[in-house]
Structure 1
């Protein structure tokens, strides 16, 4: 008959307990090391179409390939991007809800709203800016202006008869056109829409005389002759639109119409290792030989910043856009 002493049983139990505790302690590390092990949701707080959606879907498709898991794009537009951002922030900060953001929703919204469900700095684990893009000012073909000077002259000759479309109160197009109103002594009437796509649709239908958007959403209608470009908000002309003068060439400071960027964030509390990995993957994607030409063809400049560079850019922009909003009479509501 075999006899096992109580001391042997106690020793074996101690070893088993230690092994169990070690396995439990290592489990989170293993799970993180296996990231991603299920599909990733990519929230886009804008309607389909234009530069934001293009950036999300282009990067999302390539991330699916490099990460080996589906990246599912979900558009959740409304309220200057606030609805989609709020929805993303309510998801667990586990790296499985990636959010596309833009310069206006992150740097401009704090100048427009007294209360936001997010802080551009503390509410997020920044991943990086994917691409920059200038806004292109376009007019409906029935508007008799082939450049910015002619648009200003027409607005002076027919005060309060010309209108411009924007993505909503406080959007970059409104900031730009109101600054143009003040600088040139004109009074273009503001017609706000709920998204860039709807604004472009309004311009195509002739509901407004002029609007501005990233080239990504305008290049198709421009090439089809359905909208006429008259100026671009960049330091140099775009190779896509070489005949379109810059704002500076048109006699207006470039700063009147800020360039937009599109980037990515996770919720605050998400593992930094995941944010850094996603940042590295996205930088590689936007600069790849396959993807970079697609961005350039849409009038976007592939950038691929680090998380730290994205945060620093926001810190510079926040006071600047508060001042810009105040200058045209916009008070936080």
Structure 2
């Protein structure tokens, strides 16, 4: 009986000690072994890529290209999860609150991580504190396009028409804070035109209205607009970047078409929630870089009018900080605010 009581007391003391260590954040040896085995097997279940815009837009297109490559590389299904709304803020907030275990990736943009913090008075996430940057995936120009029935065919004609009809030229965007929105605001402020911004829950619904001539123009990401230009359903007016696009070599830049100094580039990257274990980050980063270096994947991105971009995690963090300063100034100077 004494031996039984001693054994029971010993078990109780061990349980109390384990509970105390857990409360202090100290893992017992079995817990360490369990976590090591779990991480060592990573990934052992499907991974999701949260896309903060609707299906069919550039962010979604790039996420699906990456999901195919990562599925083959990591040996687990990579599922694209579209969570559109509020200029990407809804999807970003959901990704920020996801478990930090490597099973949730976030396909973010210049909007979600460099523009929205300046544009919105309050964000449901912190783009710096709530995420760990992995790498950029691609950079793309924005393309100023119009419906063919609109009465202007060039930048100068658009400016003249907009000034003669203030507030009547509507431009659509994937949402407030997305790079097409800020590209439009930059154009408006630099040309002194009174354009009307119409935000949508993603590029696809905005494009639907442009194709139906419900809005006049868009500064859309090239990958989601180029198919409609090639089919003749949209009229290309100008490219937002400093140089012309190899995909549309006859289309001038906005700067050379009448607005000197104008330049805007969209970029897209992958993040994980803050506190994701470093070894998991390292494995994901290596897989992403390997996929981006695959010539087949690179061609898919360039065929869409984009360019592959690969950074170290440190360089990506520095790049984001610089872009935040740049676009914060543009937002402030334009007077845009949500």
TM-score relative to the length of structure 2: 0.87
CA distance in 2, matches of 1:215, 1:156: 26
| CA deviation map 1:118-167 (0-9, x unaligned) | 22222112111110111000011001322212211222333433222223
Residues 195-246 of structure 1, C-alpha deviation per residue, up to 9 Å, x if partnerless? 2111111111101111111111011111111111111112221111111011
The residue aligned with 1:291 is: 297
The secondary structure found in structure 1 opposite 2:187 is helix
Equivalent residue for 2:90, pick from 71, 75, 83: 83
**Count of aligned residue pairs for this structure pair:** 311
Q: Find 2:329's aligned residue among 299, 303, 323.
A: 323
In the alignment, what sits opposite 1:96? 103
> What SS does the corresponding residue of 1:217 show, helix, strand or coil?
helix
User: Over aligned residue pairs, what C-alpha RMSD do you find?
Assistant: 1.8
Query: Which stretch shifts more, 101-110 or 85-94?
Result: 85-94
SS at match of 1:291: helix
- C-alpha deviation, 1:94, in angstroms: 0.5
Q: In the alignment, what sits opposite 1:313?
A: 319
1:67-117, CA deviations, whole angstroms, 9 ceiling, x for partnerless residues?
A: 011111111111111111222222210101111111111111101223222
Instruction: Give CA-to-partner distance per residue, 1:165-215, whole Å, 9 cap, x none.
Output: 223333333322233233223222222222211111111110111111111
Structure 1 partner of 2:244: 237
Conserved 8 A contact 1:121-1:314? no
TM-aligned CA distance change 1:111 to 1:204, over 3 Å: same
Q: Cα gap change, 1:321/1:101 in structure 2, threshold over 3 Å: closer, same or farther?
A: same
Specify every segment of 5 or more residues in structure 2 that has no aligned partner in the other structure, as ranges: 1-27
- What is the distance in 2 between the residues matched to 1:282 and 1:125? 15
Q: What is the rounded CA distance, in whole Å, between the counterparts of 1:325 and 1:218 in structure 2?
A: 24
2:63 paired residue among 56, 71, 76: 56
Whether 1:247 aligns to 2:247 is: no
Q: What is the distance in 1 between the residues matched to 2:209 and 2:263?
A: 20
State the alpha-carbon separation in 2 of the partners of residues 319 and 22 from structure 1.
46
Residue 141 of structure 1 aligns to a residue whose secondary structure is: coil
The alignment status of 1:259 with 2:265, answered yes or no, reads: yes
Counterpart residue number, 2:135: 128
Rounded to whole Å, the distance in 2 between the matches of 1:227 and 1:235 is 22
Indicate the SS of the match to 2:295.
coil
8 Å Cα contact 1:125/1:272 also seen in 2: no
Q: TM-score if structure 1 supplies the norm length?
A: 0.88
Whole-Å separation in 2 of the counterparts to 1:30 and 1:261: 36
| Per-residue Cα deviation, 1:21-40 (whole angstroms, up to 9, x for no partner) | 75553332222121111111
Instruction: Judge which range, 259-268 or 168-177, deviates more.
Output: 168-177
Asked whether the 8 Å contact 1:127–1:279 carries over to 2, the reply is yes
Q: Distance in 2 between matches of 1:320 and 1:76?
A: 27
Against the structure 1 CA distance between its residues 89 and 161, is the aligned structure 2 distance closer, same or farther, given a 3 Å change threshold? Answer: closer
Structure-2 residue corresponding to 1:6: none
CA pair 229-82 structure 1, distance change in 2 beyond 3 A = same
Query: Which residue of 226, 234, 245 maps to 1:219?
Result: 226
